[in-house]
């Protein structure tokens, strides 16, 4: 057929940077080669609220984002070991809320370490925060760095997922094309 172009599947990813006071989120749409920013923001939970009330605020905020944008997948920053045990535990609880919201919405869930996110987005696993923010700006063709930095980090998580999901899909596609052992005999 003249002028026929196969439809390119696009995917919408919700990236989450969990935090007990500020949880960043970002929605990115793409086809594995090109990305487009849909929306980003943060859910602020003042320290004057009890911790359970902050968790509820984060839960409700993330649920509203999921309902508004209908993402296909959720990518979030994996837990890292903080020197303060209380901080690590609170971060784990925030991550649990984010995982629960994503699971309830039947989203594919993917977790990435902070080092892998930096490696993927910047090319260097020990990149500074401002380097990650600048690369997010460039990759999404934005005029300025997304603010607050928690939202920029969430967008970096979503971009990381696109890179790794695209790689995984190519690998799976290659495996599907390989003849089976029985077919080779």
- Any idea which residues carry the catalytic annotation? 17, 77, 150
Q: CB burial class (10 A; 0-12, 13-18, 19+) of residue 31? A: middle
What letter does residue 9 receive in the DSSP assignment?
A: P
Q: In the numeric block, which tokens belong to residue 34?
A: 């090109």
Q: Residues of 99-114 as b/e, b for ≥16 C-beta within 10 angstroms?
A: bebbeebebeebbbeb
Q: In the numeric block, which tokens belong to residue 99?
A: 């995982």
């Amino acid at each position: 057929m003249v002028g026929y172009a196969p439809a390119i599947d696009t995917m919408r990813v919700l990236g989450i940077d969990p935090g007990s006071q500020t949880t960043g989120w970002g929605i990115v749409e793409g086809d594995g080669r090109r990305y487009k920013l849909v929306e980003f923001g943060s859910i602020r939970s003042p320290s004057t609220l009890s911790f359970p009330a902050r968790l509820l605020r984060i839960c409700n905020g993330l649920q509203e984002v999921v309902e508004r944008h209908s993402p296909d997948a959720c990518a979030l920053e994996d837990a890292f070991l903080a020197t303060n045990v209380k901080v690590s535990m609170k971060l784990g609880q925030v991550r649990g809320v984010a995982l629960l919201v994503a699971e309830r919405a039947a989203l594919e869930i993917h977790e990435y370490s902070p080092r892998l996110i930096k490696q993927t987005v910047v090319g260097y696993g020990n990149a500074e925060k401002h380097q990650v923010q600048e690369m997010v700006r460039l990759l999404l063709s934005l005029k300025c760095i997304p603010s607050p930095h928690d939202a920029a980090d969430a967008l970096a998580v979503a971009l990381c997922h696109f890179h790794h999901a695209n790689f995984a899909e190519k690998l799976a596609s290659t495996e599907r094309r390989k003849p089976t052992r029985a077919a080779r005999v």
